[in-house]
Amino acid sequence: MPDFGSIVKGGWHPEKKGTTFKGQMRQGLLFFCLSTIKTVDDHCGYALPWDPIQHITSNNAAYHDIHHQTWGIKTNFSQPFFTFWDRFLNTRYKGNRQNRLLEKEKAV
């Protein structure tokens, strides 16, 4: 695994060809740090009530964990920031699969 310095210099250097983020080095570093914090928060397995990141974004560890389950692999794609796409594209997990099947049977 590369160290932090090589990730920042190699992945975010503005003059590097193919870079998708063409901002200042400090903007890239800020984005990288915030994304890393959000990724750690999503994968920690805890939804603490005082966590400021979960108040800023509309998802938490529980939302993200569904994406990694075998029964939820086709839901909750929009990680880590843009969960509105899951609502818009109808890929947001809507609850227990068994409840959904029962609702479908009742509708038929």
The amino acid sitting at 67 is: H
pLDDT tens by residue, 20-37: 556 678 888 888 898 888
- The Cα 79–Cα 85 span in angstroms is 10
Mean predicted confidence (pLDDT) in 100-107 = 66
CA angle 13, 8, 38 (to 5 degrees): 125
- Per-domain boundaries in the chain: 1-43, 54-108
The token duo for 79 is 């990680």
Sort 53 into a burial class: Cβ within 10 Å, 0-12 / 13-18 / 19+. middle
Average pLDDT over the chain, rounded to whole? 73
**In terms of pLDDT, which residue wins out, 94 or 100?**
94
| Per-residue confidence (pLDDT) for residue 1, from 0 to 100 | 47
